Every structure is written in structure tokens, then in C-alpha cells.
Chain A
């Protein structure tokens, strides 16, 4: 899923400093699962903002709502009758949400309440880790099921760098050296020779480097046939 972290209250308060009626719009997709931008978190943010504004003596009216998904126009359109009631909408979805909203309602202002960070999963309750870099050419199977593009700080393709120590990455003491894990797995399974050859140069056109990407399922596109 897409993982995000909520922005600081200071930053969000700054965004809506001159507003006195806003909507905080959660998303029931990834950000609900990673406990950052669902209805519950929208309500908590609303209460926090209200406390801050009451303390300042500048009350603010806040409504909260969560859409099924903010990355789907079908759901984004659900606020078409109410969006004009607010001076601004604070989206708690990943970076996709505020953009779909801005595109559908070009006359309105949408603020991101979260910083979108990575594609990952929960390794324990309350802790999420990155697993995928969305590079567009998946080769996870070549590395024992572990992705060095996303999980090696240098995206190395031929084994751990000289900074790997006791299975820990040189960059951060809480980060496992993924190459240590890949090598150990290959050794245990007797497939170390898989790592011997020089890998083909990666074609980054399928990654962000090739410009904004697009996926098309021909069979779903109306008017194709």
C-alpha cells in the first residue's frame, strides 16, 4: 500500500490560518490502513485544529468526511454539491488525492495534510517499511524475493557495498542491509552463482525517470473497439 505520515500541526495550521470554514477529507484506501488519513484521523485532526483555533480566539468550523478513494473520479465527484460550502479542503489522502480533487474542482483550494512516503507494508502494528520503488521493471525474483532497488540505499545490483556491517546498512543503524539478506538467502539455498554475472544495465525509462507514467488496460477503455 501507499504509506504516508501526517504533517505537523504547525504546518497544517499555517495552511488554513486565514480560513474559517474547511472540510477535512479522509480517504478509505491505503491511508486508512496505515492509520494516517481515514475518517478517524480526519476527526482527530479536526479536533486538534479546533483546539488550536479556540485557544487563539479565532474559531473555525470544520466538517469531516472520508471518501471511498480519492484516486477515483467516481468517488471524488461525491463532494461536488458540498465543496463550495468550504473555503478550503484539507485532504488526508496520499499525494494523488489533492490532485484528483484539484483537477475536478479547479476553482477550489486543496491542501495536503500528509507527506506521502513510500510503497510498503506493516512489519508490526504501528510500523511500516518500504518494499517497492515502483521502478516499472520488477526483478524481485532475481534477488531471492527481496528488492535491492527499493531497499538498498544505493540500489546496488551486485551485492553489499563496503559499508555493510553485521547485516546493518551503513546509512542507518535501524535499517537492515538488504544485500546481506539476499546473499545469505542465496547461500542457504545453494544459488550463490545467481549473483555472479554482471546484470544488464537497468532501463530507467519505466521508472519516474522516463517522465510521468500511464497504465492502459485496452480491454477496459471505452471506444477502443
Chain B
């Protein structure tokens, strides 16, 4: 991975061997650009790129493409998320071209939460192709300069291709194999689901390293600071695919309610410190859900500033 595939900042950071630090930003439930720009200010300069989520949890929001373009115009680098739930291959390819034309250089290819979790559960879902095939499609568009049908693309989109990985979903033994397929399909980098169960993640990374996957792809560990014990409890019970050990909930409950946020940040900082040393981990993806204003502080205390 010496020559750059996309020229994105994230790619440059990773290929130069720096420990990457990426952030996340949910677009507004509306066309409130001001609100979005306010969030951008907390992230600017503190992370290498920012994920712009695509109707996350199947709740309708401003499109991730528009959000990504707004980010570009504000001088931030977006990681444009795309789910397979809402678009067929035509819409996907056209949005990928559109995103590239608007200056987007990173993409994250996802299946998408099922629409029954969202605010329009009556909707028809698409799933024309799945996340694995989306990765392969973006790669084909970039490397071969061709559409899925084989037709030439007039100025192909050079995207740095990302994919997700949830080591905490079942069946656990299969997760590393699924990751391997994503890498084979063309993923340049991986952002994992929020990690809370460190024991399990250590074991997972050992498998990754044993299979040499970390040498074929950059793996960014997902970190979400808990705001309080209630959030931990809620995520543990209601968010699919979350593995939150009782010990963490206990730890948060163990301090005064006013101090739970600080305790949550402390846990996140401990995680980041460990990830910096963990074999196979190339960076951290910080998902400070509706807590963007804490990102500068977390980045500072994690010792990842200034960004390269």
C-alpha cells in the first residue's frame, strides 16, 4: 500500500504509518446546516476524517452525500457512509460519482440497520446488493474505471474504501472470516463497531493478526465514550450487536452520577491508550454520539493531537 489510491487525507495518514484518529457526525433531522457546521467546528483539526452517517438506525436525516459535501466545503474530510438498505445499484453508483465530484474521497460501505428499527418501519427495503458487493463495486469503479455492467466511467471515482466489522455479533467464530472476505472484496480500511468488551476484542485481534489481515488492511478500533450508566444500560439492552460487559456498567454506576461522564471518558482514554499499543490496530474511530463537543477534549487527553 505505498502509492495512494484516493489521495484522501485518511489514506495519507495511514500509509505514512501514523495512528489514525477518525470521528463521526450524524446529519440533522432536517436541513439545519448551521447545526451541522457547529458540530464540524468541534471535529475540525482534531480528527483525520469524519464519518457522515447514512440514515443511521433507519431514521430519516439529511442525506449523507449532502452532509459530506457540506463537510468538504467547510474544509473537513468526510467519510461518506452508504447503506444497502435505501439504494439500488443504480442509485449507489450515481451517488458515488456525485460524491467524488463534490470532493469526497473516503467511503464506508454498510448493510444498514433494518428499517423496522427506524421511524419509517413501513418502508420497502432495497438490498439489491449487500455490503460485501458494495465494497467490490466501489473497487471496480475505482481500479478498473468501470460500472458494474463493464461500461467505462468517464473519470472514475478514486475512493479510499472502508467497511465495518462487528466482532461482537454472532456467530463469533465466523467474524474474522467475514472480515477477511471484506478485505478480499477490496476494503482498504475497517472501522469496528463500538468496543466495550476488551477481552473479546483482544482475542479477536489475535485472530486477525494470526491470519495476517492487519497487513492487508488498516483496522481502526471503534470507541464510544459512555455519557452515563443509563446509556450503557440502554445500549446493552436495545442496540443490536452491542456487547457491554457488566463490569463497565458497574464501574459507571460505582461513581456519583455527576462523575459518570468523566468515568466514561476515562474508560475511553484507557481503551485508546491500549489500542495505540495493540498489534494490528492502525487507529481509533471515535463515535461520540451526540457528544461532538467533547471530541477536542478527548483527542487532547488521548494524546493524539496535533493531527498529522
Contacts and interface: CB of A to CB of B under 8 A. Distances in A.
Check A-B contact in the complex, CB < 8 A. Answer: yes
B122 to A, nearest CB: 14
B129 A202 contact: yes
Interface stretch (B22-30, B171-179, B270-278): B171-179
Interface string B187-208: 0000001000000000000000
A199 interface: yes
B178 A156 contact: no
Interface residues of B, number: 36
Given A163-B241, A165-B240, A198-B185, A158 B178 contact: yes
A167 B174 contact: no
Given A165-B170, A170-B240, A156 B136 contact: no
Interface stretch (B100-108, B111-119, B213-221, B300-308): B111-119
A5 interface: no
A149 B193 CA distance: 25
Contact of A160 (B129, B137, B170): B170
Interface in B26-79: none
Interface in A152-198: 153-167, 170-172, 177, 180, 183-184, 187, 192, 195-198
Given A162-B169, A192-B177, A201-B89, A154 B111 contact: yes
Contacts, number: 102
B132 A157 contact: yes
Question: Which secondary structure characterizes the binding site on chain A?
Answer: loop
B5 interface: no
B146 interface: no
B265 interface: no
A75 interface: no
Contacts of A201: 89, 129, 133, 137, 148
Tell which of B111, B113, B148, B174 has the most Cβ of chain A within 10 Å. B174
Interface of B: 84-85, 89, 111-114, 116-117, 125, 127-133, 136-137, 148, 164, 166, 169-171, 173-174, 177-178, 180-181, 184-185, 193, 240-241
Interface of A: 153-167, 170-172, 177, 180, 183-184, 187, 192, 195-199, 201-202, 204
